[in-house]
Structures are given as structure tokens and as C-alpha cells.
């Protein structure tokens, strides 16, 4: 399903926070290799490729890997694994509530109506 391009509506700071979310999931020791695919629905090399393509993210399609990976990584950081408060600043430049609020904003932007002129006639 096609929808608004949420990524382009985010500020540079918000994009940087999403990059941090993806990075902690990829490089952190919070999810073991044997459970990574089960919890996230993809493998570490796929997430690594998305990070390497940054900031060239195409989220026009709700079923795209970028949308799926960003959503699932946000979900893990906000609701899945635990990052001790002392470790948080090693991964993030913003507080956890800001990451949680950005996750909500991401979801809301994904639900936004299509861009004007993108309708088929």
C-alpha cells in the first residue's frame, strides 16, 4: 500500500534519532544473533545494508523493507529490550521519552493521507 513519505517529513534531528535506533539494534548486544530474525523479521546484514544506504530511505510503500525495519527497530528499543540508563547516552543523543514520542510520530505519519497529486485517476 502506498502512503505519504513519512521520512521526508521528519527533521534532520529526528532522522538522526532513527539512525541511532537502527544502529543500537544492529550493533548493540541486546538481541542475540539466534533470536534476531525471529524478533525483527530480518537478519543483521539486511539492517546493515539499510544503515549503509542512509539517508537514502524510500518509505513510499508500507510493505518496503525500510518501513518494516524502522518500525520493528523502534518497537524493540521502546518496548522490547532494556537499555540500562547508564548505557543510554552511549547510543542516543536524546532521552528515551523523545525516542518513544518519535515512534508515535512515525506511526502517525505512516497513517497520513497520500501526498496531493499522488492519487490515481
Residue 119 has pLDDT above 80, yes or no: no
pLDDT of residue 29: 95
Q: Any residues with CB less than 8 A from the CB of 5 and at least 6 apart, and which? A: 59, 60, 115
Distance in angstroms (rounded) separating the CA atoms of residues 121 and 108: 26
- What confidence category does residue 116 fall into, taking pLDDT thresholds of 50, 70 and 90? very low
Amino acid at each position: 500500500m502506498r502512503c505519504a513519505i513519512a521520512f521526508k517529513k521528519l527533521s534532520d534531528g529526528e532522522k538522526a534519532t532513527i539512525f541511532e535506533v537502527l544502529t543500537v539494534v544492529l550493533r548493540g548486544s541486546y538481541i542475540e544473533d539466534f533470536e534476531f530474525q525471529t524478533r525483527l523479521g530480518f537478519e543483521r546484514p539486511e539492517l546493515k545494508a539499510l544503515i549503509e544506504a542512509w539517508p537514502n530511505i524510500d518509505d513510499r510503500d508500507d510493505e518496503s523493507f525500510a518501513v518494516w525495519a524502522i518500525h520493528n527497530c523502534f518497537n524493540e528499543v521502546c518496548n522490547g529490550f532494556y537499555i540500562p540508563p547508564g548505557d543510554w547516552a552511549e547510543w542516543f543523543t536524546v532521552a528515551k521519552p523523545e525516542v518513544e514520542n518519535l515512534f508515535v510520530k512515525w506511526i502517525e505519519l505512516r497513517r497520513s493521507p497520500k501526498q496531493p497529486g499522488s492519487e490515481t485517476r
